[in-house]
Amino acid sequence: MKIRKLQLAILAVGLAGAMSASAAITSITYSGTDLSGLNYSSMYSGDAQYVAGTPDVAHLYTADLGTADTADSPAVFFKAPVGTTLSTLSGSYVLSSGTTVDPYWILYLTESTGYSSSIVSTYGGPLNGSSLVHVGNLTSGSITLSALDLLIDPISGLPYGQEMVAWAGLEIGNGGSGAGTANIESITVSTAPVPEPTTMIAGALLLLPFGASTIRMLRKNRKA
């Protein structure tokens, strides 16, 4: 009986390991001179740029934090890791001195060309399942990213969580008054790929000897 329990425990742990091995989290951090290679978007010159220093920062500035068409919303963007879906993406950032407003995440989904797909925006802070988000004019208000993952995107017809992320970035200028500055010292994004069916099957096949010996043990116990 003790041997049977041990084999079952080995089987369970081995299967979990085989599944999680292909779902290792991949993290990328942009800091120092890496920030100079990112894409900066602004309406006015100097409102979004790399600034070398101690530390180096991605500098975002706007004279108007409002949402009027004339207001500037500077941002810094980078391509999401290949194969990243909305449900597997998370991120964080570190702000440097001189910051007066927290940036918010903005994500471009790419189920069609020309960025005609939905744009997901947060309300600031780390990017994770608890982040409050809205999707352009399609989904607004206080909804968590994990709840959004389950909703259907009317543009693509897919659950938001299954859609690929093309670009991710940090932006300021989603509301408020007066000027705002964000000096971003580092940006970290992580993605946890979903295990591929073939990888899961291969892992299970490696565990067949344990399963076979467990079955033999069960049969012996029954005959006894």
Work out the end-to-end distance of the chain between its first and last CA atoms, rounded to an integer number of angstroms. Answer: 12
Statement to judge: residues 223 and 172 lie in one domain: no
Are 166 and 210 in the same domain?
Answer: no
Whether residue 170 sits in one domain with residue 115: yes
Residues 105 and 182 occupy one common structural domain: yes
Does residue 37 sit in the same domain as residue 67? yes
Full domain range(s) for residue 135: 25-194
Q: How far apart are CA 192 and CA 180, in angstroms?
A: 33
Closest CA to 18 of 191, 210, 201: 201
CATH number at residue 176: 2.60.120
Q: Report the 10 Å Cβ neighbour count for 70.
A: 7
- Do residues 189 and 116 both lie within one domain? yes
**Structural domain tally of the chain?**
2
Do 19 and 36 reside in the same domain of the chain? Answer: no
Q: Could you list the pLDDT tens digit for every one of the 224 residues in the chain?
A: 445 554 444 444 444 444 444 457 799 999 999 999 999 999 888 999 999 999 999 999 999 998 887 788 999 999 988 889 999 999 999 999 999 999 999 999 975 555 567 899 999 999 999 999 999 877 767 899 999 999 998 888 889 999 999 999 999 998 888 999 999 999 999 998 655 544 444 444 444 444 444 444 444 444 45
| CA distances in angstroms from 87 to 6, 107, 217, listed in the order given | 36, 12, 42
Retrieve residue 58's tokens. Answer: 């991605």
Looking at the fold, whether 148 and 53 belong to one and the same domain comes out as yes
